Amino acid sequence: MQMPPDGLDAVDYIGVTKAAYDALGYDSYRWAHNDEPPAFVTPNVDLADAKVVIIASGGVYRHGDIGFTHKDDTTHREIPADTADAALRVTHFAYDQTAAQEDPSVVFPLQAVRRLVDDGIVGSVADMALTFMGGIYSQRRLREQLIPTLVRRTHELGADVALLVPV
Amino acid sequence: MGLIARAIEASGVATTSLTSAWSITASANPPRAVFNDFPLGHTAGVPGDREMQLAIARSALEAAWTMPEPGITVLDHQWPGEWRDDARGPVDHRTERLETPQYQNEDDRAAAIAAHGEGPACGC
């Protein structure tokens, strides 16, 4: 497991969560752990020609969409690439959403990626961004329900690279 | 999100993740992540700071072309102000895990019901 570099005082959220659960007498939350190296592919095109799909777990939806439930919701929402920030909403059970509800760009960088496209840095943004509410405690449901859908939609949207934004 | 990154990459599409939770990301071991030392809930930048948000998105995307092997790269953006004591302390923002659709505000709920009825959340 990669350790933080010297001088970086990163908060150990696994340790913080374990301490909080221990104090309450709960079983420890089992964070995903993979010793096996990940697949590692290089995009086929340059960034200036690449199509980017944004996938964000901060509970972002549009005004008029059905909101997320706060318990193992493995559905996702699709946010059209031209959606204005004013139409974006956020709901989540686990993090402080004060900033995200005021400026959705802090958890959903659609506006930034659109600007990178306008500036010629990035080729294009996928027609839809894919959003869901993270904090899904069931890794089985994540593997069987949400992950296959996100993989399929990434390919259907023709993305060359996926920008993943957890909270 | 690390599991999702690994699955998408294994399907042949490069991924790059933002993160502010080093231990969670390192444990999940995704192909690529760029780290900002920010309080949770602001993975893509400081509210209202459009230039920083742009730089972070750009750095994350460039990582898919420049990182030679899997790992986490640290960016050098600074969060304005001290926040670590709260993050390490007993403050807990979790709320009850309700099983019905939740909304930022009641206008959203009304608009969703008008558009979709009272039914269960769609998979879209």
Tell me which chain A residues have a C-beta less than 8 angstroms from the C-beta of B31: 38-41
**How confident is the model at residue B77, as a pLDDT?**
96
Q: Is residue A73 part of a domain?
A: yes
Counting one residue from A and one from B, how many pairs have CB atoms under 8 Å apart?
A: 301
**How confident is the model at residue B7, as a pLDDT?**
98
Q: What is the mean pLDDT of residues A24-40?
A: 89
B35 Cβ under 8 Å from any chain A Cβ? yes
Residues A17 and B67: their CA atoms lie apart, in Å, by: 30
The tens digit of pLDDT for each residue in A68-104 reads: 988 888 999 999 999 999 999 998 888 888 999 999 9
Give the distance, in angstroms, between the CA of residue B71 and the centroid of all CA atoms in the same chain: 17
| Shortest CA distance from B110: residue in chain A | A64
When pLDDT is cut at 50, 70 and 90, the band that residue A131 belongs to is very high
Cβ(A60)–Cβ(B124) below 8 Å: no
Q: What is the mean pLDDT of residues A21-46?
A: 90
**How confident is the model at residue B11, as a pLDDT?**
98
Q: Is residue A95 part of a domain?
A: yes
Burial B90-118 (b: 16+ CB within 10 A, else e): eeeeeeeeeeebbbbeeebeebbeeeeee
Question: In this structure, what are the phi and psi dihedrals at residue B17, rounded to the nearest 5 degrees?
Answer: -115, 140
Q: Which among A12, A20, A99 is the nearest to B92, CB-wise?
A: A20
**How confident is the model at residue B124, as a pLDDT?**
47
Indicate yes or no: CB of A164 within 8 angstroms of CB of B44.
no
Name the residue range of residue A86's domain. Answer: 47-165
Indicate yes or no: CB of A162 within 8 angstroms of CB of B50.
no
Q: Which among A8, A12, A46 is the nearest to B74, CB-wise?
A: A8
- Considering its fold, how many domains does chain A have in total? 1
Indicate yes or no: CB of B98 within 8 angstroms of CB of A91.
no
**How confident is the model at residue B120, as a pLDDT?**
55
pLDDT < 50: residue spans in chain B: 123-124
Q: Which residues contact A19 (CB under 8 A, 6 or more apart)?
A: none
Indicate yes or no: CB of B108 within 8 angstroms of CB of A33.
no
Tell me which chain A residues have a C-beta less than 8 angstroms from the C-beta of B22: 4, 8, 10-12
Q: Which among B35, B70, B124 is the nearest to A38, CB-wise?
A: B70
Residue A142 has pLDDT above 60, yes or no: yes
Residue A30 has pLDDT above 90, yes or no: no
Q: What is the mean pLDDT of residues A28-49?
A: 93
3-state secondary structure of A156: helix
Indicate yes or no: CB of A39 within 8 angstroms of CB of B10.
yes
Q: Is residue A12 part of a domain?
A: no
Indicate yes or no: CB of A66 within 8 angstroms of CB of B116.
yes
Q: What is the mean pLDDT of residues A149-155?
A: 98
**How confident is the model at residue B89, as a pLDDT?**
77
Cβ(B2)–Cβ(A32) below 8 Å: yes
3-state secondary structure of A147: helix
Q: What is the mean pLDDT of residues A41-48?
A: 96
Q: Is residue A58 part of a domain?
A: yes
CA distance, residue B72 to nearest chain A CA (Å): 8
B78 Cβ under 8 Å from any chain A Cβ? no
